[in-house]
Structure 1
């Protein structure tokens, strides 16, 4: 489990640093967020706390394998890496709060050619991995369903802002890409 603590610590530290360092600026349109960032942090904190607690008090294994937690950790790492790549590709247009930057450009290349929210795909994959790491159906559902739901709200808020900014170009982008998973959703 030491590996789990290392992965979790790196992930949490990276998210806290992003939250502190990559925020909208004074010249950006900041009025589009609707507090989704706050809701994300609250739901994540509650869901993960409950998921961990439930993993200690119940035994509902996903599979009967001793090392199944490594599958979850591998998904966590893959999700974190996918999120980092997506953030890097979005570059100066990435912020932790839903914002339209000055001179904002619609990203449609790299990962964004295939899905509209690859950063969210990555973070959701990491949360799926987190739930799987506990090898407990209840923990998996308690962590993943609320987190996924609040990210759906966040994506809707972000898409409204992008639609208002880019109009027909963003409508076409929506029609040609899926939100999180190519060809699926």
Structure 2
């Protein structure tokens, strides 16, 4: 049996599907851009991040590396025609990114990559925020699910979705604690009538 070489697998996949992989590359590029340009100006906000952004990036980095490492394994391959799977996976990924960016634009200047509450912060309940409290995270998780499908292995899907979901849920706790402290009863009532990530479910 020829030993599995993840680097060789990745090189082969990119050479065969350059355009699709180019579109996939928009995912990390967009997230890096957010990390660089949407940090809080400390003088204008109270920071409550508690290192959650660093932890999330660490988990994402490890998970993506592990997902690539497992993608070409002969076990747990997603049984779907290669081109069909990649197009479907790309559609899921782009849908997730669309949800994330629509949510970010809805928040406007209140969106930051670190957990913070601005001096004139107020509750946003328009757009996707009518249905879930954290649509940008829901979109992010959907995008990672699509990325796992794109890699073509159920192990890749699991190693992307499960650890990142855990990190996001921990970060949500930190965010919501800060928002409850800042916005008081209005945010508590919002939490009672609106689910976290999946409308009507969770």
Normalised TM-score (structure 1):
0.95
Kept after mapping to 1: 8 A contact 2:53/2:113: yes
Give the secondary structure class of the aligned counterpart of 2:25: helix
Tell which deviates more after alignment, 151-160 or 3-12: 3-12
Give the secondary structure class of the aligned counterpart of 1:90: helix
Runs of 4+ deviating beyond 3 Å: none
Alignment of 1:146-165 (within 5 A): 146-165=163-182
Give the secondary structure class of the aligned counterpart of 2:45: coil
Cα deviations by residue, 1:109-159 (Å, 9 ceiling, x for unpaired): 111111000110111110010111122111111111001110111111101
Q: 1:176 to 1:138 in 2, by over 3 A?
A: same
Unaligned runs of 5+ residues in structure 1 are: none
Kept after mapping to 1: 8 A contact 2:24/2:90: no
Alignment of 1:58-137 (within 5 A): 58-66=74-82, 67-137=84-154
**How much has 1:5 moved relative to structure 2?**
1.8
Instruction: Name the residue aligned to 1:45.
Output: 61
Give the secondary structure class of the aligned counterpart of 2:176: helix
Q: How far apart in 1 are the matches of 2:122 and 2:145? A: 31
Q: How far apart in 2 are the matches of 1:98 and 1:145? A: 22
Kept after mapping to 1: 8 A contact 2:96/2:139: yes
**How much has 1:22 moved relative to structure 2?**
0.9
Q: Does 1:144 align with 2:161?
A: yes
Cα deviations by residue, 1:80-106 (Å, 9 ceiling, x for unpaired): 111110000000100000000120011
Please, what is the CA RMSD of the aligned residues?
Answer: 1.1
Instruction: Name the residue aligned to 1:56.
Output: 72
**How much has 1:4 moved relative to structure 2?**
3.4
Q: How far apart in 2 are the matches of 1:149 and 1:46? A: 14
**How much has 1:71 moved relative to structure 2?**
1.5
Q: How far apart in 2 are the matches of 1:145 and 1:166? A: 31
Unaligned runs of 5+ residues in structure 2 are: 1-16
**How much has 1:27 moved relative to structure 2?**
2.0
Q: Does 1:8 align with 2:24?
A: yes
